[in-house]
Structure 1
């Protein structure tokens, strides 16, 4: 059994993460090895190209590519101001039927082609706010690790190029090849979300000193009962004005801000202490265990027990044979 080759172009553009550029090429190389062993022939033809060569007979690239990948980028200036020939080339490739993919900050490059307008995409959670502000016509969902929108595929995390590679291998060969590749690489091929890894980092450089003062208070008193009305009175603002300024400065309503702050503190306690589930909830200001668990799942995408297992390696209630409330939650 043989299958038509899939030509994949990996853009080595200024600031691109070299480990991702080479790693993707090696991932498809290994996928080809598995395909040969299964009698499928070599499916993936990988071409790493220097974007600076575009416009010079397309840098020796074939006329048509099935896939174009923009790897992560560590240089702010590079992904915020990519070379125009690269943007023009990506647009032509997409117009010719190529699936265009980005990883992490590569989404900034892709967005500047206009191809993402009206689309739902992902990027690194730490870049999501800046991306949303710069490209308001694009719907960014940074909770997702990977979004496959048929002709546009975006991956969020810095290392999610591995997930993108697995997605493409499954799409152009089959899921068995993808799972075998994952086993060889010793990487998880199960469903994951970027929200599992997200940390809450409040914006403090917004320039509203009054709101910064409130944020500092919340950082100190996050476990205490807090009412929006009381916070507004403390800074001599009406509740309506306080809400408007708080949302404008932080991007969150005060109640959502406090929830994220408490859950971040809960994550830190789960990772660094042996406290039982109910003690963690109590320490971060939740008397209702059910409400704490629901909020934790909504924000992180997993239960406290799943979080513990993923990031610490053991589940609550497994120490010395004891069982905590979370085991039955």
Structure 2
């Protein structure tokens, strides 16, 4: 469970705080960063030890007790790899220095933010509280990257003037009732609803009638059907890397079957090579000496490596292929 310590002002942060308290400028917060570093001297930091993600500010809420609540939303939708959130930095604008690292806090029991390929897309709201003498002197750069949260939406919807412009528009439609009672007033809308209702059946029929050749053609275009096929294949785990050391993962439709291959050079007699992609188990492995044209005496593979055993000590290289399961 996360255990964030209180935020510590950096040296540049203290200098900016003094300017704010003196009334020469406002405290303009710009963003947050999270990382997996373990810094020791927090006060002298100008950036995180190992920054992993910039986070835009969603909202900032001052209180009457001299504190400001900063809300940000962190998401893993663009993260290829997960990381432990061990450090967090608050950035602000100094009128003389530009953007600076204002404050830092660390976590001795960090949470792990999973990468996008290991779970569903996650969005986590982060709240950081800072103390300031005059909360009226605190502002924030609200970044579109600081995603809209449900709390923001509720706050908007309960506001007295949230939809005032919309109500004014309706008030001008004095003949609205007459329009709604007309026989053909919403004919096009009903047709649209009917098309939406039948969309699921149309997709299923399209899939059933599509041959392999036309499916491949669709995948190479930007048609709606091609995009749908790509989404289905990606969701099932289909992926590939067409390279000298590559793989093809056929996804859950084919039981998670993986075919991978590679070329290894510069080793002799017995060695172990890392496979292009790890798997839960391997079923078969085959290698061929590129120089002598002979197969090694023994070849085997496990979840992440392939092993070769050969009598000759003069191997120039090997080609191999492995059949495994995701």
Q: Greater share of strand residues, 1 or 2? A: 2
Q: Same fold (TM over 0.5)?
A: no
TM-score by length of 2: 0.26
Q: Greater share of helix residues, 1 or 2? A: 1
Instruction: Kindly indicate whether structure 1 or structure 2 has the higher relative contact order, using CA contacts under 8 Å at least 6 residues apart.
Output: 2
TM-score by length of 1: 0.26
